Structure 1
Amino acid sequence: MNELPLWGWLTIAIAIVIVAVLAFIAGRLLSRLKQQNQRRDQAIEKRNERLHESIVTIAKSVDQGQCPLSEGALRLVVLLDLRVEVNKPNYTERYQGLHTMYERIKHMPTHEARKKYPKAEIRQLDNEREGYEKELEDAILADVRQILKDFS
């Protein structure tokens, strides 16, 4: 019978220790990864809940005439785009009126940026925006009501 020399047994023992240490490290890393993924998923869920609440609130205010159609469209399109979903619906196709308004007015200055433009130009942009609101009112309101159904 052929016996293994002492150095052979030592090599096997060292190999077993190395494999055990690597298995332990891999297990800890997998555990940390699982925890990190859970925290990420919880953060995404919490963020989506806040977005959901904001979307419903804005849609209700647009539907009730408390928020201008153009402002509501801008806000809703951005909020819908920010949602993180596994099988994210194509909101551009689903809410075409909102997206049409968004595309037409997204270049227009808002808030502080408006102050940098001459009043005549701001008036012209406001008239243009109001024209779009009249043109797209029915489509936007239909989209807002659909959002309220989809998100309730």
Structure 2
Amino acid sequence: MYIALIVLAVAIILGLSFYAGKLLSQVNEQQQKKDKLRQDRVTNIMQSVHVIALAIEQQQCDLSEGVIRLTNLLDALPLSPQPKFAELYPAIYGLHHKISHFKTHEARASLTKKERRQQDKERLSIEAEFETPIIDEVIKLRAYHPTI
């Protein structure tokens, strides 16, 4: 009788151990998929960052538009710990801060021509102030490859 109970107990323990191992394997598989998706997202974002940085460097892209796109992409990078991009690229983030209040899209279309010209004049003045340091920073940014 005791032998039968011991055999039953061992069978239950082995069954539970197998089940726990199977669950652990599934968790590891899910973690690997999650890590791969995260890596793919970082790769895609960084490809976009490098293309926009190159366009800014070669003056194929409006400075303000490029800066807005760059800051949004850099802030969306799923890195841990999150680098302090505003400290690494102060001119890029500085221009973004100075132009972030400007109207865009439909709100800009609702401005009068005079208001649009005034906003454009102000934006171009701000861009001129930041152009040289931003060009230096986008060159550095093109060489940036985050470690995950």
When the two structures are superposed, what TM-score results if normalisation uses the length of structure 1? 0.81
Unaligned 5+ segments in structure 1 are 1-5
How many pairs does the alignment contain? 145
Structure 1 residue 149: Cα displacement: 2.9
Q: Distance in 1 between matches of 2:118 and 2:93?
A: 22
Q: Distance in 2 between matches of 1:117 and 1:24?
A: 68
Residue 124 of structure 1 is matched in structure 2 by: 118
Residue 36 of structure 2 is matched in structure 1 by: 42
Q: Distance in 1 between matches of 2:90 and 2:54?
A: 18
Structure 1 residue 10: Cα displacement: 4.8
Matched, 1:15 2:9: yes
For residues 43-58 of structure 1, the aligned pairs below 5 Å read 43-58=37-52
Q: Distance in 2 between matches of 1:113 and 1:20?
A: 67
CA gap 1:93/1:24 in 2 versus in 1, 3 angstroms: same
Q: Distance in 1 between matches of 2:126 and 2:41?
A: 32
Residue 65 of structure 1 is matched in structure 2 by: 59
Q: Distance in 1 between matches of 2:13 and 2:97?
A: 59
Residue 3 of structure 1 is matched in structure 2 by: none
For residues 139-150 of structure 1, the aligned pairs below 5 Å read 139-150=133-144
Secondary structure, counterpart of 1:133 in structure 2? helix
Residue 27 of structure 1 is matched in structure 2 by: 21
Deviates most, 126-135 or 110-119: 110-119
Matched, 1:99 2:93: yes
Write the deviation string for residues 3-34 of structure 1: whole angstroms up to 9, x where unpaired.
xxx3x545434432332222122111111111
Q: Distance in 1 between matches of 2:129 and 2:136?
A: 13
CA RMSD of superposed structures (Å) = 2.1
Deviates most, 142-151 or 8-17: 8-17
CA gap 1:102/1:16 in 2 versus in 1, 3 angstroms: same
